[in-house]
Structure 1
């Protein structure tokens, strides 16, 4: 008796069934292999992110534009050092902001905290203690403001938007009170020397090295520690994080402390860069930091954050600012360009969320 063709292919009716290598099964195998590869990249912390690759493309395009429009000025070593130095100050702030947004929060006070820390650290009384006095005061003021934000939000039950907005107004007012509207000149030579070319290490300004160190530490904390995993968990689902045993309130307090610490470090870098302290320092830093984090891929709703993406976002914005300045373009056009980039980034995020690609 002749066996059916299907049975003949499978070795008889009693033979174990073997699925045909149909295109659908091949596609499933390819999909499974892709999934495993992605898991492997995630395990190494080296997952290729389309957003980061896109930002690298944008940054490369900006460098080409700058090289074409102002080749002698933009590609000059001194100008490139300036771009990196300016990116360092807002970049350190952005690292702290990335943690806060990843947790589902927001910090509108970072610019005001930088201003307050910079003027408090450059008073005559503080400068009498030299380099250590200025650094310690800047960091301490940043931590103090972060502590107030954290307590109000985590234990006071205040909405982050309202609490940090109140800190923004208070810190700006206190900075104006300390300076009386005047610029406080730094006279400590050891601080000013960090801003001159003689202090550069292999052609790299010390401020850039500090920024790089903060970036590495931030990346390690977010991707390689329990603290980072708890931050992501709190941002993704605070109630689930609480049920899993995470002290959500304490975690939020630590996050705002970390943001304040970053602001204190940024204030010290700004003092080195400007050689003074002013109540207008850090103007709109909160918007630049939030924008850099968003275009870098950090979700405003929380639950996902990327330090590398945030740093690339900072470099993109700083490069745009530099190109506009070299070409004598109005600042309003620059703000429009930044706004367009932010809108595009948010639209990409929404599409990513709809497709479940987070």
Structure 2
């Protein structure tokens, strides 16, 4: 048992190291090729924008570790941004709590459907995706909802610590550290891994499998809700039409980080690095557009993201087959 655990930990560290090496290589490429790539403005803007995607990727990682999926994170973030915008006249903290509560409520609905009603995660979260999207459009009147600029709510998404580290990303790092502690140091984290590996065996062992899955979906919803708060604060308005495809970005980051789509194995650290790597690829493409080498619209970026996800999953499937037959 000790040898297997040691090998597993070494493999996980190797995955995180590999993703980190790619990230550093992309950073070096950007610093060499583009004049303003290393500027404080670009770094702060990059971290501020990608804080949302890092958050939903971390939540998605826990869900996938349990063997599930959460397709609702993007539209839940959009709904939470609308909720936070409506509450923003009452101040930063009430708006933040409103957005977070919206995400947690969506996560609880997903958890109940999956753990109590035994609806497959794909179907349950797809239903939540549609419901959240419709609710956001109804309460916003299919319009962006402006925030109250005088309440200080926009400071969360527009200001930085020392002009370099955005508050949104600093909070994301704190959330990430807490989730890492939960997964790696607490019994409930080991239960999540056990559920993803073999849920029936986890039940027979007396592990709180239902509690672990419920917590995973609650965290995923909470992360999406907080991402929605960052969205409203950073753009100055609730965005009911945002969130399309965010779930694919999160899944891609999780898979790039080495988490198995079948569950039972995953790394939050590698997921965080994977999310930043994906964000950096599109940051580099934007700089390349500025040079006039080519001109890729946002639609082409969606195509690239989908193709990238397909390639990564195909590689993961092949590696899994090789290990199972080896």
Q: Please say whether Structure 1 and Structure 2 have the same fold, judged by a TM-score greater than 0.5.
A: yes
- Could you state the TM-score of these two structures normalised by the residue count of structure 1? 0.82
Residues 36 and 246 of structure 1: CA distance in aligned 2, closer, same or farther (over 3 Å): closer
Farther-moved stretch of structure 1 (340-349 vs 105-114): 340-349
Matched with 2:64 is 101
Matched with 1:180 is 141
* TM superposition shift of 1:135: 1.1
Matched with 2:14 is 50
The yes-or-no answer on 1:205 pairing with 2:166 is yes
The yes-or-no answer on 1:281 pairing with 2:237 is no
Q: Secondary structure at the match of 1:191?
A: coil
Residues 249 and 196 of structure 1: CA distance in aligned 2, closer, same or farther (over 3 Å): closer
Give 1:335's match in structure 2, choosing from 286, 302, 308. Answer: 302
The yes-or-no answer on 1:298 pairing with 2:265 is no
Matched with 1:253 is 214
* TM superposition shift of 1:36: 5.7
Matched with 2:103 is 142
Q: Determine if contact 1:89/1:269 at 8 Å carries over to the other structure.
A: yes
The yes-or-no answer on 1:114 pairing with 2:81 is no
Q: Determine if contact 2:43/2:164 at 8 Å carries over to the other structure.
A: no
* TM superposition shift of 1:220: 1.0
Matched with 2:51 is 88
Q: Secondary structure at the match of 2:71?
A: coil
- Could you state the TM-score of these two structures normalised by the residue count of structure 2? 0.90
CA deviations 1:69-127 (Å, max 9, x no partner) are 4x22222221011111112111111111000000000000000100111101212xx23
Matched with 2:122 is 161
Q: Supply the distance in 2 between the matched residues of 1:205 and 1:128 (Cα, whole angstroms).
A: 22
* TM superposition shift of 1:162: 0.4
Q: Determine if contact 1:97/1:290 at 8 Å carries over to the other structure.
A: yes
* TM superposition shift of 1:181: 1.5
Q: How many residues align?
A: 316
CA deviations 1:202-225 (Å, max 9, x no partner) are 731111111111111111111111
CA deviations 1:159-183 (Å, max 9, x no partner) are 1000100000010001000111211
Q: Supply the distance in 2 between the matched residues of 1:186 and 1:244 (Cα, whole angstroms).
A: 50
Q: Determine if contact 2:249/2:305 at 8 Å carries over to the other structure.
A: no
Matched with 2:155 is 193
Q: Determine if contact 1:295/1:341 at 8 Å carries over to the other structure.
A: no
Q: Determine if contact 1:73/1:326 at 8 Å carries over to the other structure.
A: no
CA deviations 1:283-310 (Å, max 9, x no partner) are 2111100110011111000000100111
The yes-or-no answer on 1:133 pairing with 2:94 is yes
Q: Supply the distance in 2 between the matched residues of 1:137 and 1:173 (Cα, whole angstroms).
A: 18
Q: Supply the distance in 1 between the matched residues of 2:302 and 2:37 (Cα, whole angstroms).
A: 20
Residues 214 and 47 of structure 1: CA distance in aligned 2, closer, same or farther (over 3 Å): farther
Matched with 1:67 is 31
Matched with 1:228 is 189
RMSD (Å) for aligned C-alpha atoms: 2.2
Q: Supply the distance in 1 between the matched residues of 2:140 and 2:163 (Cα, whole angstroms).
A: 37
Residues 41 and 284 of structure 1: CA distance in aligned 2, closer, same or farther (over 3 Å): closer
Q: Supply the distance in 1 between the matched residues of 2:129 and 2:75 (Cα, whole angstroms).
A: 5
Q: Determine if contact 2:83/2:99 at 8 Å carries over to the other structure.
A: yes
Q: Supply the distance in 1 between the matched residues of 2:269 and 2:308 (Cα, whole angstroms).
A: 18
Give 1:349's match in structure 2, choosing from 310, 316, 319. Answer: 316
Q: Secondary structure at the match of 2:54?
A: helix
Runs (4+) off by over 4 Å: 35-38
Residues 109 and 41 of structure 1: CA distance in aligned 2, closer, same or farther (over 3 Å): closer
Q: Supply the distance in 2 between the matched residues of 1:38 and 1:167 (Cα, whole angstroms).
A: 37
Instruction: Structure 1: give runs of 5+ residues left out of the alignment.
Output: 1-34
